[in-house]
Structure 1
Amino acid sequence: MEAPRKGSKGGRVAIYDESLKIAVARDYQGGILSISQVAKKHRIGKVTAYHFVRWYKKFEVHPDSGAEREFQDQGQDMNSLTKQ
């Protein structure tokens, strides 16, 4: 087990991959499965599944609005990435 990071870039090491978080959120937002069913399908807790849905909503790209996805932990937005 890796020790917690300390310093200016502190924080915990991610336990779950982003791909799992996205899959959980999309399964729930599809409207067919409940949070409990999605959690059981992916073998995670209900609260964890709920947090993944909230995380996804926070960083979701809305194609209609032209909003761009920004990640606070990377410190870069899509505009700076396209300029490079």
Structure 2
Amino acid sequence: MRWLLLIGTLLSLALSFTRHSGGAMGLWLLLGIVGAFATALAFAQSKIDAHSRAETLSEYDLQRLREGKPPFNR
């Protein structure tokens, strides 16, 4: 999805610089700016997801919690 956003953003920016009408140029430029913001957020989200820890605990950590001990820090 983030790659489609990037391609769409680049396409809209290219279209904004090739239009002769002010209204069309403004519309494509606005879409390019909004697309750039959305693309940056999409790439940041994928980077965060790639480096985040798993949301589940291992069997060992669950056993330690049942025994009243804190989970093992990795």
Same fold (TM over 0.5): no
TM-score, structure 1 normalization: 0.30
Rg: which structure is higher? Answer: 2
Which structure has more relative contact order (CA 8 Å, sep 6+)? It is 2
TM-score, structure 2 normalization: 0.32
Q: Which has the higher helix share?
A: 2
